[in-house]
Every structure is written in structure tokens, then in C-alpha cells.
Amino acid sequence: MIKPTFVQNVNLMVNSAIKQINIDLDIATIIKSCRSVIQCEFPIKIGDQIEVFKGWRAIHSTHRLPAKGGLRFSSNVTQEEVEALAALMTFKCAIVDVPFGGAKGGLMVDPKKYKTEDLEKITKKFAREMIRRGFLSPARDVPAPDIGTSSREMAWILDAYKSLKPDDINHAACVTGKPVDHGGIKGRLEATGRGVYQALKVFFRHSEELKKTNLVGKLSDQKIIIQGFGNVGLNTALALFENGAKIIGIVEKDGCLFNKKGLDITNIIEWVNQNNSLYNYPKATVYKKSDKVFYMPCDILIPAAVESVIAKNNVHKIQAKLICEAANGPVTFRADQILNKKGIAVIPDIYANAGGVVVSYFEWIRNISHIRMGRMSKQYEENRGEQIVQAINSISKKKLPKNIVEKIIHGANEDDIVASGLEDTMKNAFQEILHAKNFFRLDTYRTAAYAVAIKKLEKSYLDLGI
């Protein structure tokens, strides 16, 4: 049998959910189709030579606008990959109740091969190609960082949009994941990783679900291995570490770390910032080959790199009790079926890594409203807190301790609001997934997550008209 492609894997997972829930078959056809794809080829003069670059932007669904999805820069990106990722974004937004359609973009370029000024020219030219064709605007299609891009590229895209649309007062909302000084929101960079932590935190609150995975104890008692130490893997590791979790292994292309007593993530981040590599890190066993750590026994395995890293040919080597997908599509459809038969639970990507789009939504709202979150309420909350402290102290012989007072009079700032909104969103989404799993008698969290998304999409299409 021919190995399914990424987009075929996504469709197989969607089909599996559709077969197990009651859904209009015409709506099912619509849900699996990608509404529109643009392909751009454009020349850029690099040094003394002209180079032609190719890129895509796919919009999977416009049942809600704007469409939302990352923009990745990679020499390996393809149209099919972009379409699959756009579909995942549609389901992801539906699961976490973010009112966006799904989109994704990709440019065939290796960012490491180009100087900053050349990469800026490439990025702005690609942005202009999309803007002129109506594929990028605050109201229709809003990109965000992905593999190979960051807040820097988003700032360049924002500048390109402003130059073409100077009268759009909402120009800052044309992209998310921007620098904070240019309309970004605090916590967006760390959002996907923190969302993965929140997904695990919520999962461990459900003792009935833990029993099914043979996991015992709290999240902080588990031995965790993370594959990938880019933005998502690093911030997932940091959020877990800061909350007491034990990470015993990190898997990267240039070196893998293992320490059964637990790794000091903050120290590793300092080492990577200084050496640009995990290799030769002195406080752990270092392996050159990634499979040395990836297949080690652990309680939780977190794939946080790229798609299809757990497939039919290697799934039998996995020795984790629970997999939490921080990357998009790290487990193929066939591998997912095998994991289910082996009793290894999977917290699916369309839920687990949705933290990025949740906080992107907060950033977009901030840009559209033109006001910092908490600006109008922070001082009011602090004043009310002080009144509460005074009231308590007036009727008690003992004064409240200073640390308690500080907590009571603390008014929520933007960081607090973003963190609270992310936690609440991940908690509510998991409750919906559990409800769907029980209501439709589904065997996996992935099928239940797709069921939640598909039913919401069905209702939207039937309400609005096809």
C-alpha cells in the first residue's frame, strides 16, 4: 500500500470521525474541500543574480472571517502540505471557539541561506503578491509565524501592508505574532507551548481518563520526553519545567539530551543561546542519533517538531503511555490506529497546540479595538482590592500579611488576561471533547476533537447557507 500523504492523513482522520457521528453528507464533502489556493512565483535580485521564489497561501474555510493560519518558510514546503495545514487550522479554531476560518501559507526558501536584508525583500515581495490578490488583510486572511518565521517577518509583512493600504486604520491586525512594540501582544511567542502545558494540566485533572492511560499521580510526577526544541518545543518544555514537571529527554537533529533525574530547562536554554546547539551540553548524556532518546521509555512523549514523525514503520518503537501532539500532524493515520490498539492515548494536535491561534485571536481583538487589554479596568481592580484589605483589617485584630495584600490589590494586566483566557479556553475545549467522546461513544480523543469541530462547522454551514 502506498504511504498516505499529509493531506490524505488529515482526510482519513476526518472521514473516521464522520463515519462515527451523525452528519449531513453534503456538509461532509464541503468540510473536506479547500476553498481556494494561490500560487505565487516572483523574482528577487540577490546580489548580482535574479532568483525566482515560489509560495502558496491556502484558505480552507471562509465560514468565519478572517481566515487564520501561519506562514512557514522552508525549502521543503509544498502546496499539499499547506492545504493540509489549512484544514487543521479550520478544525483547531472550531474546537477552541475562535471565530476564524482556517488558512496556511508557505514559501519555498531556506531562511538560513540569506542575509537579513535579502530575506526582508523576499518576505515583503511575497506579502505584496498576496495582498494584491486579496489573500492578506485584517478582514479576510491573517497570517502568523510558523516554522522558519517569527515576529520579525510579521513586522515586515505589516510594513508591506501599510505601504499598499495606508487608509486602513486596522492595518496592525493584518498579521499576528508581531513585536509587542508594533501591535503584538505579550505571551503570543510562548502561547503554543503554554497551551500544550494547559492541555496536559487539564487532562491530569480527570482521574477517570488517567486510569485509561495507566498513568499514576500528578503531572509533576511524570517522566517526559520532548521532540523538537524550536519555539513550540522550547516553550512547552519551559512551561512544564516552571510548573514542576520532570523532563528527562530532549530530541533534536543536532543532538539529543537525556537525564533520568530531570533536565534543567532554563540552563539548557542559556546553553543553546550561547552555543546555538544542544550538542556538548555538559549536564546530560548527549546522543548524536535522535532515535536513542525518542524511543526511550517515558510517561509522556511530546512531538513538537514536524508532521509524520510517528508512522507505521516506527510506531511499534514508541514506549510512552501518553502522546501529546505539540506539532501539526506528528502522528499519521495508520500509526494512530496502532497506538489506539496498544492502549497509548493521544491528545491531538487540533486541540493540544491550539494555544497559538487562541492568543493570536486576542492579539487581533486588541488591534481591532485599538486598546491594550486591562487598560480600563486595572486601576479600578486595584482600588477595589485596597478597599477590601482596609475592610478586613478594620474588623480583625491581625493585619493581613504583605504577600496576601499584594495578591488582593493586584489588578489584572495584559499578561494576566492573556494567560487567564488561554487557560479557560483550553479547559472548556477539553470538556467539549470529553462530552463528544462520551456522547458518540468514540474510542479516541482525536476522533472526539474532530467530532466537536465537524458538528460546529455543520451548524455554521446549515445556519448560514451553503
Report how far residue 49's alpha carbon sits from residue 343's, in angstroms, rounded to the nearest whole number. 56
Q: pLDDT tens, 349-395?
A: 999 999 999 999 999 999 999 998 888 889 999 999 999 999 999 99
Residue 3 has pLDDT above 80, yes or no: no
- Structurally, how many domains does the chain consist of? 3
Q: Is 223 a catalytic residue?
A: no
**Residue 381, helix vs strand vs coil:** helix
312 close to 165: Cβ distance less than 8 angstroms:
no
Q: Is residue 295 part of a domain?
A: yes
262 and 161 in one domain? no
Both 247 and 151 in one domain: the answer is: no
Q: Higher confidence at residue 396 or residue 464? A: 396
Does a structural domain hold residue 167?
yes
* DSSP for residue 70: E
pLDDT above 90: residue 32 = no
Looking at the domain assignment, is residue 149 inside a domain? yes
- Spatial contact of 154 and 126, defined as CB atoms under 8 Å apart: no
Q: What range does the domain containing 300 cover?
A: 191-352
| Catalytic residue selected from 68, 92, 104, 201 | 104
* Domain final residue, candidates 162, 184, 206: 184
Q: What is the pLDDT of residue 466?
A: 64
Residue 8 banded pLDDT, cuts 50, 70, 90: confident
More confident residue, 346 or 286: 346
267 and 251 in a common domain: yes
Mean pLDDT within 46-58: 94
| Residue 394 maps to a domain | no
Does residue 319 share a domain with residue 220?
Answer: yes
Virtual CA dihedral for 407, 413, 415, 419, nearest 10 degrees?
70
- 155 and 299: one domain? no
Q: Please report how the helices 355-369 and 414-439 are oriented relative to each other, as an axis angle in degrees rounded to 10.
A: 130
Could you give the 3-state DSSP secondary structure of residue 369? helix
Contact between 257 and 281 under an 8 Å Cβ cutoff? The reply is: yes
Q: Report the range of poorest mean pLDDT among 29-33, 75-79, 110-114, 130-134.
A: 29-33
Q: Is residue 1 pLDDT above 60, yes or no?
A: no
Answer yes or no: do 161 and 291 share one domain. Answer: no
199, 346: one domain: yes
Which residue, chain included where needed, has cell 556538548?
A: 280
Domain boundary among 307, 330, 352: 352
